[in-house]
Homo-oligomer: A and B are copies of this chain.
Amino acid sequence: MYAVKGSIWIEGNNGTFIGYGRAILLEGIRKHGSITEAAKSMKMSYRQAWQMVDNMNKQSKSPLVEKLTGGVGGGGTKLTKDGEKALTCFWELHNKFTKFNVVATEKLKL
């Protein structure tokens, strides 16, 4: 009947660094190679998506997302190595937290 629920995120020097929404956004950028397309797939405005990316980039030692310039098709956007690292780190945390919630639900004395 009762269930433990919650949300979890990683904070940096300037508020949220990465949480569930930002992780999905980074996945979208990896998939689509474009902030615009990633934002569309989440029904988020480009402006909001860009601000999230900018905020993540600024809170990290090196950017998580970078613009590719030139080449056939003229660029696009990709996740950097640090972007992949942040994603992996967040999903690991997210999975541990999901397990924490399952165990805590089983142990509820209500």
Contacts and interface: CB of A to CB of B under 8 A. Distances in A.
Interface of A: 1-13, 17, 85-86, 89, 93, 96-97, 100-101, 104, 108-110
A17 B2 contact: yes
Contacts of A10: 2-5, 108, 110
Contact of A6 (B1, B7, B108): B7
Closest 6 CB pairs of A and B: A6-B8, A3-B11, A5-B11, A2-B10, A89-B110, A100-B100
Contacts of A89: 108-110
5 contacts: A3-B10, A4-B8, A4-B10, A93-B108, A96-B100
A7 B6 CA distance: 5
